[in-house]
């Protein structure tokens, strides 16, 4: 099959590298703003050339951001081309429209690389939803923050230095705010919850706390408690729709999450009949992410349908039914609270008014 690559950054260049020696997938065109004489395929800065090229059956979008990616993918689908994307920001922002358009145009829309990097998380989740009812999804879904927390916990590295290393290794988003403030994990949670529950949740409805307030004294406090911090995204079915949030979480050092190091991800589903299933592996980085992209291309070639699910019922977020234990820090003082997630996030917003570096962390059961 002939594919066109939109974007040639970390993921795009690794897709090219992986496809280079294959006989079943050929990168026939690359959309790039600058000339790339080192490539042995057509290189163009004009997307219309790609969309008009009848030989290109699948468009692979690895450029990121909402525009122009949305316009390109929309045009590609309207031209009858299948679409594979690693773009979680775009998939979250236009979930309903993209699903509907793929169905209308009778083309495949795959985004396995958008959540879990190299882990076949979305495909596994889709498989389970055909057999069982998934009640909850939860996990470490951002490699950059996991890399930073691991470096701070195990190497005593400070936050800024660890973030710079994660950027150098190609894990972080173009704007790392999306990683450290939890937005990237939240987008991956939206895709996971939408698929798991057959719904359409809006990312802005999900309360989100990242890791930027975690400092050396918090790491020391966690150690004193026999725990370690991980950034966790969680969604579960709830009476008022879905309960969902992103928040640093304290895990006992013996928990599997505590042993998920570096840019690793660990994500679990909880289903009624089969129980808990967990998936772990590289959550970011060139080759792992590119592998998921190529695996989607192969799925398209095998005739995979429009999207992983046909269901996308509008769904609100309601965290009033989820109770947990929380650790807060305000003006240097730590306190434990036993309350609902809705109450904990409301308290955190109040705390921020008097201490802009206040901390909120859930304590894992």
Site for ligand HSE in 101-130 (CB under 6 A): 117
Name the residue nearer to ligand HSE (CB basis): 13 or 328: 13
Is 188 among the residues known to form the active site? Answer: yes
Cα–Cα distances (Å) from 294 to 35, 75, 192, 247, 339, in that order, read: 24, 21, 20, 31, 44
Closer residue to ligand HSE in complex, CB, 56/290: 290
C-beta contacts of 49-56 below 8 A and 24+ residues apart = 50/4, 50/6, 50/76, 51/75, 51/76, 51/79, 51/81, 52/79, 53/4, 53/28, 53/29, 55/2, 55/28, 56/2, 56/3, 56/4, 56/28, 56/29, 56/81
Question: How many CA atoms lie within 13 Å of 45's alpha carbon, on the beta-carbon side?
Answer: 4
SS3 of residue 237 by DSSP? strand
Q: Three-state SS for 89? A: helix
By the 10 Å C-beta count (0-12 exposed, 13-18 middle, 19+ buried), 346 is classed as middle
Q: Does 218 bind ligand HSE (CB under 6 A)?
A: no
For residue 32, state whether it binds ligand HSE (rule: CB under 6 A): no
Shortest CA distance to 235 belongs to which of 183, 287, 196, 262? 196
Minimum distance from residue 36 beta carbon to ligand HSE (Å)? 23
Q: Which stretch binds ligand HSE (CB under 6 A): 16-24, 50-58, 167-175, 298-306?
A: 167-175
Residue (of 94, 133, 145, 91) closest to 115 by Cα position: 91
144 binds ligand HSE (CB under 6 A): yes
- Which runs of consecutive H residues, i.e. helices, occur in 303-363? 341-354
Closest approach of ligand HSE to the CB of residue 13, in Å: 15
Helix (H) or strand (E) holding 167: helix 159-168
Of 81, 188, 221, 230, the catalytic one is: 188
> Considering only residues 53, 61, 138, 179, which one is a binding residue for ligand HSE as defined by CB under 6 A?
179
User: What 3-state class would DSSP assign to 304?
Assistant: coil
Tell me the Cα Rg of the chain.
Answer: 21
Helix (H) or strand (E) holding 178: helix 177-180
Q: Which is nearer to ligand HSE, 129 or 142 (CB)?
A: 142
Q: Is 284 in the site for ligand HSE (CB under 6 A)?
A: yes
The least CB distance from residue 363 to ligand HSE, in Å, is 24
Nearest distance, CB of residue 171 and ligand HSE, angstroms:
4
Of residues 53, 61, 138, 173, which one binds ligand HSE by CB under 6 A?
A: 173
Q: Closest approach of Cβ 264 to ligand HSE, in Å?
A: 10
Asked whether position 283 contacts ligand HSE by CB under 6 A, the answer is: yes
Give yes or no for residue 15 binding ligand HSE (CB under 6 A): no
13/144 with CB nearer ligand HSE: 144
Structure tokens that stand for 268 in this block: 């679990």
Q: Is residue 292 near ligand HSE by the rule CB under 6 A?
A: no
Q: Which stretch binds ligand HSE (CB under 6 A): 37-45, 121-129, 172-180, 230-238?
A: 172-180
Q: Which of 53, 61, 138, 184 binds ligand HSE (CB under 6 A)?
A: 184
Min dist. Cβ of residue 54 to ligand HSE (A): 32
Select the span of 94-102, 154-162, 166-174, 349-357 touching ligand HSE (CB under 6 A): 166-174
- Judged by beta carbon, residue 185 or residue 330, the one nearer ligand HSE is 185
The correct pick among 108, 142, 192, 306 for binding ligand HSE (CB under 6 A) is: 142
Which amino acids are annotated catalytic?
188
Provide the binding-site residues for ligand HSE, judged by CB under 6 A: 117, 142-144, 171-173, 179, 184, 283-284
């Amino acid at each position: 099959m002939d594919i066109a690559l939109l974007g040639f950054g970390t993921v795009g260049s690794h897709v090219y590298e992986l496809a280079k020696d294959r006989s079943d997938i050929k990168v026939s065109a690359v959309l790039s703003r600058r000339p790339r004489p080192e490539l042995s395929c057509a290189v163009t800065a004009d997307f219309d050339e790609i969309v008009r090229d009848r030989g290109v059956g699948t468009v692979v979008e690895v450029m990121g951001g909402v525009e122009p990616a949305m316009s390109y993918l929309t045009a590609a689908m309207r031209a009858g081309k299948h679409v594979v994307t690693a773009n979680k920001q775009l998939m979250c922002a236009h979930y309903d429209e993209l699903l509907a358009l793929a169905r209308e145009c009778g083309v495949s829309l795959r985004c396995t690389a958008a959540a879990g990097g190299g882990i076949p998380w979305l495909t596994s989740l889709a498989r389970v939803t055909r057999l069982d009812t998934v009640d909850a999804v939860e996990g470490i879904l951002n490699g950059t923050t996991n890399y930073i927390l691991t470096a701070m916990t195990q190497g005593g590295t400070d936050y800024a230095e660890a973030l710079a290393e994660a950027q150098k290794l190609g894990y972080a988003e173009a704007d790392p705010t999306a990683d450290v403030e939890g937005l990237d994990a939240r987008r991956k949670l939206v895709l996971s919850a939408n698929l798991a529950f057959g719904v359409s949740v809006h990312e802005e409805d999900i309360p989100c706390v990242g890791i930027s307030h975690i400092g050396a004294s918090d790491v020391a406090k966690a150690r004193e408690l026999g725990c370690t911090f991980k950034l966790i995204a969680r969604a579960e079915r709830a009476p008022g729709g879905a309960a969902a949030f992103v928040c640093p979480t304290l895990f006992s050092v013996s928990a599997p999450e505590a042993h998920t190091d570096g840019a690793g991800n660990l994500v679990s589903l909880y289903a009624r009949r089969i129980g808990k299933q967990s998936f772990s592996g590289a959550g970011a980085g060139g080759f792992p992410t590119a592998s998921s992209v190529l695996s989607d291309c192969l799925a398209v070639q095998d005739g995979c349908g429009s999207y992983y699910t046909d269901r996308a019922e509008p769904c609100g977020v309601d965290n009033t039914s989820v109770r947990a234990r929380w650790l807060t820090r305000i003006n240097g003082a730590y306190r434990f609270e036993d309350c609902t997630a809705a109450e904990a996030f409301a308290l955190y917003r109040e705390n921020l008014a008097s201490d802009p570096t206040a901390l909120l962390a859930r304590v894992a059961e």
